Amino acid sequence: MSSSSITLKGSYTVRPSEPTLSEWDQFGIITHVPTIYFYRPPQNWLTPPIKIATTLKDSLSKVLVHFYPLAGRLQWKTNGRFELECNAKGAQFIEAESSSTLSDFRDFSSSSKNDYRNLFPFVDYTLPIEELPLVIIQLTNFKCGGISISMLVSHAVVDGRSASHFFCEWAQLARGEPLNRVPFLHSNMLNDGKPCNGVKEWNFSELPVLLGNLKSNVEKKRNKTTVAKVKVSKIQVEKLRKIANESWNKSSNDRSYSRYETITGHLWRSACKARGHENDQPTWLGVSVDWRSRVKPNLSKEYFGNATMDVMATSLAGDLISKPLGYASSRIREAIEKVDDEYVRMVSECIKKQDDLTKFQNLDEVVSGNIVPFYKNPNLGVISWLTLPLHGLDFGWGKAVYMEPGIHEIYEGESLILPTLHDDGSLLIFICLQEVYMDAFKIYFYEGIELDTVVK
């Protein structure tokens, strides 16, 4: 039999025939979002401490079968767009030991940016994006026997609801139980051929800037920032809601202002006062809206990906300050209620038409070390985690005694509202402002409600 020769005719990279990420995954924050859970050592671990790392790694490998996009890597395309390559490269798992004890964290009451920083994995964003895992976990063992589990998940792939779904199912498998809710994986839910008619082109407006002398404003922006962690009791929340609902005209058919609309309006007004805004200062407040239930047909609650969008409540600072709380809440409600099926589809189409998305992403600022947050003086952004299953995460050795977002990763003008550990109706708020305004903010925030809680 005669030998034959082979001539290579070409080598090609074959990409998926359809997008593996939706337009919503291409837009906004594309870095990792951090959270951390702390566990005290019970007298009798259901899982021996020596097996904790093995249990976590084994169950993580199993849950990634179902949530396989998180085991992949991002790949840059062109003009700020990227795609997800489901190449099963996996998550990163880090084990660490600390000479600290859980009691060293002062019952987790501190608001210092640096208290927990070394308990989170470091992400080197100078590396090519295709080398960065989408999920990075750090298990830290304390000398008292307690542990912390910090989790970093890429916001380019999931939003808060999807990340929480992933954590809950991971814990479920770690306990030896079957998967509870299977993720609904479909990146093109809005590409159903349904036309978007009668809506004008969405306007990507620039956020307002501080009025006044440009040089002075540049110097103000260089002021050091700090994060405050404030607790609001259930009684205080209900008192604010009563004030909001009784202080602004609503028709008899309108529902009462929600906790979010009330607390966020109060945050907005307090920040304007603390920052010393002029009456004619324009200020915007960014609201992140989950649109799963706002499109027709509704997306599955298990829809896995990014299904949130930011909308802006707008006002003059003088109106916010001089008018009652209900006015601020009404501006926030107006922004939220415009997010309907037609609006979501319109924004999706407008994102698709953008020639370059890099101006809407923040990775370059992270790489350069020159963080330019989306919300900064005179604006504010308030994210709600009020409906997420944050607490009670149990991997088989009991529920977490404390959970916290990675507050060292929030920047000036950003804030976050979440329920407290005991789910008793009280709320925990993290807000980052320039240090020179923080004391005044706390005073204004607690004006009109009982000072029955310690402000850290």
Q: Which long-range contacts (CB under 8 A, 24 or more apart) does 1-5 make?
A: none
CA angle 11, 14, 20 (to 5 degrees): 160
Peptide bond into 378 cis (omega under 30): yes
* Active-site residue, from 115, 310, 319, 394: 394
Q: Which long-range contacts (CB under 8 A, 24 or more apart) does 75-79 make?
A: 75/129, 75/130, 76/129, 76/130, 79/355, 79/356, 79/357, 79/358
Q: Of the listed 155, 165, 266, 277, which one is catalytic?
A: 155
Separation of CA 123 from chain center: 17
Rounded-to-integer distance, Cα 239 and Cα 242, Å: 5
Instruction: Give the whole-angstrom CA distance, residue 44 versus residue 41.
Output: 8
Indicate if 155 belongs to the active site.
Answer: yes
Beta bridge partners of 92: 136
At 45 the three-state DSSP class reads coil
Give per-residue burial for 194-207: e unless 16+ CB within 10 Å, then b: eebeeeeeeeeeeb
Residue 316 pairs in a beta bridge with: 282
The DSSP secondary-structure symbol of 315 reads: E
Measured from the Cβ of residue 454, the count of other Cβ atoms closer than 10 Å reads 8
Which residues form the catalytic set? 155, 394
